[in-house]
């Protein structure tokens, strides 16, 4: 009889457990209740009954059931029962996860947290389930005690910890509460590499996709603390510091890289990293000149000595290293020579480490060339991370707005797509027929472009970004051209560099790997700029109403000593004149630099005003109106700033050189119908500056010409410019298919 009873009970338990497993929670509750009536001393029935009630949504009943089961126990029994209950809840949570029921798993793990608050694995799984359900916030890790438990736990599941880090950082990358979690994870990790890799990938996304370089630097600094002298971490950290305005720290970390660099490619990159840090800070020109000379020598040595292709990591580091040469000197032949040699090596390297897609694209494009067109319209892809609130974004938007959609199908490749509120980026997304919101994986981006069957790919970034150069080197489109964002890269895979009759001299093509495609009038045009309400007043700046105000609004990297000296000579020569200085820089360094040069030129520092940045572009443009004359920079001119100055009707003084960067303002002024203010030497630059300052009638005459040019000049006729660009595209395609 006892055997029969035992078998019956076992059958009842199996039936109850089966109901629970099948999700028949009401039936499971009835069976467990029946078992409790028959065997009230078996605690396991209470644990399972509570779980069934919990899964049915009755949390109060579950807690009451568990509490009643433990009421009569002593401390030792309660501890044992608690462990048993925790195991039952844990097992059921795992079953729900295996069945892809994250919501029920989350409920179970929340209760397990209360039952077993020191269970680290549960706390980590709970964070993952919270992410899946979009319920996670960084403060949860504090509230749940996860960080303290991780800090004190004797046993840490490394893989689970890394998976959790990845999940929470992807879900809430800018939540500052995650910094402590990251720091403790680094401290407790048995193998640092996967934790550091996870945190550095997150820091890159935080810096570039979320535009939070200061927070990214916090993560990178913690990684560096854990892995001192790691070059990869140092390079990212230095860049994050520079981008967040922490210039001294950026310089310091760049110097550390240079000290640690041993290989020739690392030395080339180290020189670039330090050049970037010094030029952005401002005032370090003696060291910048010496470093630029060293970098050029290293670049030429690399091109001569490197006979084998470079790996992907090294290649991507090197493709931006010639970026600062045009800021230092106006020497088209030497600058292009170093750049062309480097990019030939980089393209060879890209096609070596990505041989399969490179070969497939080459063969695929050849087969597509002769087939009947699968789409009537030409497919044009615009590829950039700057189609947003960025100088490139403000300038190229008019082309997309005026495109003839009956002839052209537009694709936008928004790599490093920005998260957050950016109305201009949203506008671009709406303007194209197909918007591809992409990350930073160049091979994935190239594959997307190839699969989209693009006819003409327009690169807006050039060497300002490693990803862009990698994609263009693979040549996923039959025709590739660089336009607007920077000078041409020198990649052999790029067919054309789009220019005009003025921005490059007639003999410039001798120094370019790309064919220069000259538009008939201007390589750029806009219909205008939005202008807000000004926030600058002469009175607030302590400047008399009858004074002459000069303004220079450029980044520190463009403030070459020759230009600064020329600008201050103008101030010295024009009585009752003041100089407003504005731009992204280290305020203390640039003020000290201008003060030093001003004293050497006999200019009182009382005549200098240093202006902060303003967050809104429309306000910045409105504030330009306080200036009587704007002084451009050389050997790297303004571009967007020049366009804005001319649009606001303000006389501009620029010096023309031989390289693209030193001829931007020249082509813009010519295409606005203005010759006054164009100088070909430093002496002419100073003379024009003084003449504008001492001749109010001349200033008025130029301002009037600029205002009238809005109705007549090519620079302000974006629709006409678009037709000329479209004609160029059609001619490029005709030459390709014939």
pLDDT at position 12: 86
pLDDT(385) > 80: yes
Let me know whether 360 and 292 are in one domain: no
Average pLDDT over residues 668-685: 98
Residue 199: closest CA among 169, 164, 158: 169
Q: Is residue 370 part of a domain?
A: yes
Let me know whether 400 and 433 are in one domain: yes
pLDDT(116) > 50: yes
Give the Cα separation of 695 and 337 in Å (integer).
43
pLDDT(465) > 90: no
pTM (predicted TM-score): 0.88
Give percent above pLDDT 90 in the chain: 86
Average pLDDT over residues 640-660: 97
pLDDT at position 9: 77
pLDDT(10) > 90: no
pLDDT at position 416: 87
Q: Which two tokens stand for residue 392?
A: 């490139």
Domain containing residue 581: CATH number: 3.40.50.2000
Let me know whether 362 and 396 are in one domain: yes
Which residue segment(s) compose the domain that 579 sits in?
538-716
Q: Is residue 321 part of a domain?
A: yes
More confident of the two residues 374 and 535: 535
Instruction: Grade residue 590 by pLDDT with cuts at 50, 70 and 90.
Output: confident
pLDDT at position 1: 43
Q: Is residue 583 part of a domain?
A: yes
Let me know whether 361 and 348 are in one domain: no
- Which of 336, 352, 368 lies at the terminal end of a domain, its last residue? 352
CA 566 to chain centre: 35
- Which of 352, 374, 395 lies at the terminal end of a domain, its last residue? 352
Let me know whether 363 and 491 are in one domain: yes
Structural domain count, the chain: 3
Average pLDDT over residues 437-444: 94
Let me know whether 373 and 478 are in one domain: yes
Average pLDDT over residues 540-558: 94
Q: Is residue 210 part of a domain?
A: no
Let me know whether 561 and 473 are in one domain: no
Give the Cα separation of 102 and 154 in Å (integer).
28
pLDDT(697) > 70: yes
Instruction: Grade residue 283 by pLDDT with cuts at 50, 70 and 90.
Output: confident
Let me know whether 566 and 477 are in one domain: no
Q: Give the H or E element holding residue 301.
A: helix 285-305
Let me know whether 331 and 399 are in one domain: no
Q: Is residue 408 part of a domain?
A: yes
Instruction: Grade residue 587 by pLDDT with cuts at 50, 70 and 90.
Output: confident
Q: Is residue 57 part of a domain?
A: no
Q: Residues 369-376: contacts with CB within 8 Å, 24+ apart?
A: 369/478, 369/736, 369/737, 374/453, 375/409, 375/453
Exposed/middle/buried for residue 222 (C-beta within 10 Å: 0-12, 13-18, 19+) = buried
Instruction: Grade residue 614 by pLDDT with cuts at 50, 70 and 90.
Output: confident
More confident of the two residues 36 and 370: 36
Q: Is residue 639 part of a domain?
A: yes
pLDDT at position 588: 78
Contacts of 174 (CB under 8 A, 6+ apart): 206, 210, 212, 215
- Which of 352, 369, 402 lies at the terminal end of a domain, its last residue? 352
pLDDT at position 374: 61
Q: Is residue 449 part of a domain?
A: yes
pLDDT(708) > 60: yes
pLDDT(584) > 70: no
Let me know whether 340 and 386 are in one domain: no
The radius of gyration of the chain's CA atoms, rounded to the nearest angstrom, is 33
pLDDT(129) > 80: yes
pLDDT at position 375: 65
Q: Which two tokens stand for residue 516?
A: 């220069």
Let me know whether 472 and 562 are in one domain: no
Strand partners, 482: 459, 497
Q: What is the mean pLDDT of the chain?
A: 94
pLDDT at position 370: 79
Let me know whether 513 and 371 are in one domain: yes
């Amino acid at each position: 009889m006892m055997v029969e009873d035992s078998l019956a009970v076992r059958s009842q338990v199996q039936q109850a457990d089966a109901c629970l497993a099948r999700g028949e929670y009401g039936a499971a509750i009835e069976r467990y209740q029946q078992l409790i009536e028959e065997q009230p001393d078996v605690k396991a029935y209470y644990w399972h009954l509570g779980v069934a009630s919990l899964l049915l949504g009755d949390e109060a009943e579950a807690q009451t059931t568990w509490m009643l089961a433990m009421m009569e126990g002593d401390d030792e029994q309660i501890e044992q029962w608690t462990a048993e209950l925790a195991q039952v809840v844990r097992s059921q949570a795992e079953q729900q996860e295996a069945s892809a029921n994250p919501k029920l798993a989350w409920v179970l793990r929340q209760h397990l947290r209360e039952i077993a608050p020191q269970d680290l694995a549960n706390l980590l799984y709970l964070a993952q389930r919270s992410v899946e359900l979009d319920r996670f916030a960084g403060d949860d890790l504090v509230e749940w005690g996860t960080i303290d438990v991780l800090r004190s736990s004797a046993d840490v599941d490394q893989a689970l910890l890394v998976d959790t880090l990845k999940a929470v950082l992807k879900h809430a990358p800018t939540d500052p509460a995650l910094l402590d979690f990251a720091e403790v994870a680094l401290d407790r990790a048995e193998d640092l590499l996967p934790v550091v890799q996870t945190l550095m990938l997150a820091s890159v996304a935080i810096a570039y996709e979320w535009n939070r370089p200061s927070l990214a630097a916090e993560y990178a600094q913690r990684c560096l603390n854990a892995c001192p002298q790691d070059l990869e971490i140092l390079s990212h950290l230095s860049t994050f510091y520079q981008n967040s305005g922490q210039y001294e720290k950026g310089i310091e970390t760049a110097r550390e890289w240079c000290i640690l660099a041993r290989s020739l490619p690392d030395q080339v990159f180290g020189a670039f990293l330090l050049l970037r840090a010094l030029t952005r800070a401002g005032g370090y020109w003696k060291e910048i000149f010496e470093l630029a000379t060293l970098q050029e020598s290293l670049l030429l040595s690399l091109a001569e000595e490197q006979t084998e292709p470079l790996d992907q990591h090294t290649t991507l580091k090197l493709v931006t290293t010639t970026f600062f040469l045009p800021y230092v000197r106006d020497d088209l032949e030497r600058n292009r020579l170093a750049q062309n040699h480097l990019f030939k090596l980089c393209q060879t390297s890209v096609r070596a480490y990505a041989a399969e897609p490179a070969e497939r694209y080459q063969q695929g494009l050849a087969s597509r060339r002769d087939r009947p067109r699968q789409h009537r319209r030409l497919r044009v892809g615009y590829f950039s991370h700057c189609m947003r609130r960025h100088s490139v974004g403000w300038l190229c938007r008019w082309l997309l707005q005026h495109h003839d959609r009956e002839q052209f199908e537009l694709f936008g490749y928004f790599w490093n797509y920005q998260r957050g509120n950016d109305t201009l980026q949203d506008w671009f997304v709406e303007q194209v027929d197909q918007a591809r919101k992409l990350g930073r994986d160049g091979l994935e981006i190239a594959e997307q472009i190839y699969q989209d069957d693009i006819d003409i790919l327009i690169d807006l970034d050039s060497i300002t970004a490693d990803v862009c150069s990698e994609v263009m080197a693979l040549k996923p489109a039959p025709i590739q051209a660089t336009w607007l964002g920077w000078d041409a890269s020198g990649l052999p895979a790029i067919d054309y560099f789009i220019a005009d009759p003025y921005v490059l001299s007639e003999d410039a093509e001798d120094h370019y790997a790309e064919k220069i495609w000259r538009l008939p009038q201007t390589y750029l045009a806009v219909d205008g700029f939005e202008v807000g309400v000004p926030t600058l007043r002469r009175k607030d700046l302590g400047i008399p109403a009858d004074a002459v105000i000069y303004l220079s609004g450029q980044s520190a990297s463009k403030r070459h000593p020759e230009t600064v000296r020329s600008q201050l000579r103008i101030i010295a020569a024009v009585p009752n004149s003041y100089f407003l200085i504005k731009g992204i820089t280290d305020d203390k360094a640039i003020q000290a630099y201008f003060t030093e040069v001003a004293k050497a030129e006999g200019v009182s520092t009382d005549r200098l005003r240093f202006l902060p940045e303003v967050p809104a572009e429309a306000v910045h443009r409105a504030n330009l109106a306080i200036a009587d004359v704007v002084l451009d920079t050389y050997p790297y001119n303004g571009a967007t700033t020049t366009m804005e100055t001319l649009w606001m009707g303000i006389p501009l003084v620029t010096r023309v050189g031989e390289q693209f960067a030193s001829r931007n303002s020249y082509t813009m002024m010519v295409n606005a119908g203005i010759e006054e203010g164009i100088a070909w030497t430093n002496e002419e630059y100073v003379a024009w500056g003084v003449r504008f300052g001492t001749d109010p009638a001349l200033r008025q005459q130029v301002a009037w010409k600029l205002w009238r040019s809005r109705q007549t000049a090519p620079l302000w006729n974006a629709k006409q410019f678009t037709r000329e660009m479209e004609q160029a595209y059609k001619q490029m395609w005709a030459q390709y298919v014939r």
